[in-house]
Amino acid sequence: MTDKDADLGRLLTAAQEGDRAAYGAFLRAAVPLVRAVGRGKLARPADLEDFVQDALLALHQALPTYQPGRPVGPWLGTIARNRLSDALRRTYRRRAVETEFDDGLADTVPQPEADVPPTVNLGPLLSQLPERQRLAIDMLKVQGMSLKEASEASGVSIGALKVAVHRGIAGLRQLLRKDVDHG
Amino acid sequence: MADVSHLIDRLSAEGAPARRLPPPVLRLLRWAILSIGLMLLATTWHGVRGDLLLVVTRLDWLAEQGLALVTALLAGFAAISFSVPGRRGWERMIWLPAALFWMLVLWESGHQDAAVQEMPELVHLFCPWCFPVISIGSALFLAADMRRAAPVAPVRMMALLLIAGGGMAVFGERMIHDDLDAPLLVAIQVIAIVMLGAMLAPLGRVLFRWRQGERSGS
């Protein structure tokens, strides 16, 4: 058992006895360890944050199962990996739904043209985006091409186009926000 | 990050002395006492088998019964170990050698006494009263204990819980009935229990769940 593990063990034992400060300190010390389990597996920061919160709640529920004197690392690691597998399952399920939606509709149906003229001139903002993102937004959102048509025209895969549009829109949103802040 | 800090503040503010679970061996002992109590209850209802004093002198019968009980206890121990995060791997597999040895002893007994084995009709594979009472009862005792622990492996916990309960029932049933001794019959019972355990194991996800606490910021 390492010194760090022994310290965590002492905090956890005190937490089991009702020491709130020790419990808070233990949970704070556990966060980086839990985060390390999820990092690299969960791509979106929001998913990683959800996973960390889930794992903390699980630690709270599993608190009575810790036996004083036993190493904390395997105890904590088992709980974190268990919550990670559930988080990954949720992520895959969500991705499958998103892909199904995109493949079923967005790939085949041309994007409708906007009826309402934009109140903000996006031209200068678009030009600030990287080439690939600008092209993807231009083909899919301005010209109204379907993903299939845009992929054939540009030679870029459908998946890469989706990513480029997603990132491009996020970039535009940031640029717009800056624009508004600066008047 | 602010959400995580807020959650930690909330959880630590809720902190009260936790009712620490006893070590797995003590939990197993408690479960064994409850299950044997249930068997005694079934015995008072049905009475012990008439030839009990005779069969306890037979080494093969004692070996089979001993292995049935040991397999049930070790499966229970494995189930309990699964409910405690960070336990050693061997604790979860410990029941397998006992189960295999039990099967081997049954095979050997069946092989030697093949000529005199009498297989009851298929409808009498289990006692319709003793078996369900002991198996379901002891499985419920174990489930109640494990629901207080951490559901880190709910499917395996459920499978082992059913195997432990079934093993207890095979042991108890043979203390009560004298027509369920045929090794082939016991082997069929064991296979049925393992198959049922595998089939019902996914229900563990329903029985053993993490509580969905309210997350910060969600």
Instruction: Note the pLDDT tens digit of each residue in B3-19.
Output: 788 889 888 888 778 88
The pLDDT confidence band at residue B111, using thresholds 50, 70 and 90, is confident
Number of domains in chain B: 1
What is the distance in angstroms between the Cα of A82 and the nearest Cα belonging to chain B? Answer: 6
pTM for this structure? 0.72
A161 touches chain B (CB under 8 A): no
Which residues, numbered 21 to 60 in chain B, qualify as contacts with chain A under a Cβ-Cβ cut-off of 8 Å?
A: 21, 23
The pLDDT confidence band at residue B217, using thresholds 50, 70 and 90, is very low
Residues (pLDDT < 50) of chain A are none
Q: What is the pLDDT of residue A145?
A: 82
Residue appearing with tokens 């949103």:
A173
Give the 3-state secondary structure of residue A102: helix
Q: Which of A12-21, A123-132, B129-138, B199-208 has the lowest mean pLDDT?
A: A123-132
pLDDT above 50 (res B30): yes
Token pair for B145: 């204990």
Using CA atoms of B52, B58, B64, B66 in order, give the dihedral in degrees to the nearest 10. Answer: 70
Q: What is the pLDDT of residue A142?
A: 80
More confident of the two residues B171 and A174: B171
The pLDDT confidence band at residue B123, using thresholds 50, 70 and 90, is low
Which residues, numbered 35 to 54 in chain A, qualify as contacts with chain B under a Cβ-Cβ cut-off of 8 Å?
A: 49-50, 52-54
The answer to the question of residue B12 being in a domain is no
Residue B135 in contact with residue B169, Cβ under 8 Å?
yes
Residue B191 in contact with residue A30, Cβ under 8 Å?
no
Q: Do domains A3-105 and A114-181 have the same CATH topology?
A: no
Q: What is the pLDDT of residue B218?
A: 39
Q: What is the pLDDT of residue B122?
A: 54
Domain ranges of chain A: 3-105, 114-181
Phi-psi region of A18 (alpha: psi -120 to 50; beta: other; left: phi over 0): left
Q: What is the pLDDT of residue B3?
A: 79
Q: How many CB atoms lie within 10 A of CB B86?
A: 21
Token pair for A135: 């092209």
Residue B19 in contact with residue A17, Cβ under 8 Å?
no
d(CA B160, CA B168): 12
Which residue among A15, A28, A49 sits closest to B3, beta carbon to beta carbon?
Answer: A49
Mean pLDDT of chain B: 87
The answer to the question of residue B73 being in a domain is yes
DSSP at A103 = I
More confident of the two residues B20 and B77: B77
pLDDT above 50 (res B102): yes
Q: What is the pLDDT of residue B186?
A: 86
The answer to the question of residue B7 being in a domain is no
Q: What is the DSSP string of B74-110?
A: HHHHHHHHHTSTT--HHHHHTHHHHHHHHHHHHHHHH
DSSP at A120 = S
Residue B72 in contact with residue B167, Cβ under 8 Å?
yes
Cβ-proximal residues to B155 (8 Å cutoff; 6+ apart), any chain: B201, B202, B204, B205
The answer to the question of residue B87 being in a domain is yes
Query: What's the whole-number mean pLDDT along residues B115-133?
Result: 70
Query: What's the whole-number mean pLDDT along residues B106-132?
Result: 71
Tell me: ipTM over 0.95.
no
pLDDT above 80 (res B26): yes
Share of chain B above pLDDT 90, in %: 50
Contacts of A52 in chain B (CB under 8 A): 4
Q: What is the pLDDT of residue B118?
A: 56
Which residues, numbered 159 to 218 in chain B, qualify as contacts with chain A under a Cβ-Cβ cut-off of 8 Å?
A: 210-211, 213, 215-216, 218
Q: Which CATH architecture has domain A114-181?
A: Orthogonal Bundle (1.10)
Question: What is the fold of A3-105?
Answer: Rna Polymerase Sigma Factor; Chain: A (1.10.1740)
* Angle subtended by helix axes B154-176 and B95-112, to nearest 10: 40
A interface test, pick of B9, B11, B81, B157 with most A CB neighbours within 10 Å: B11
Q: Which structural domain range is residue B69 located in? A: 21-207
The answer to the question of residue B57 being in a domain is yes
A interface test, pick of B3, B8, B211 with most A CB neighbours within 10 Å: B8
Determine whether A165 is exposed, middle or buried from the number of CB atoms within 10 Å of its CB (0-12, 13-18, 19+): buried
The pLDDT confidence band at residue B128, using thresholds 50, 70 and 90, is confident
| Alpha helix ranges (H) inside chain A | 3-16, 20-38, 45-62, 72-101, 123-126, 131-137, 147-154, 158-181
Per DSSP, chain B holds a count of helices (H) and strands (E) of 10, 0
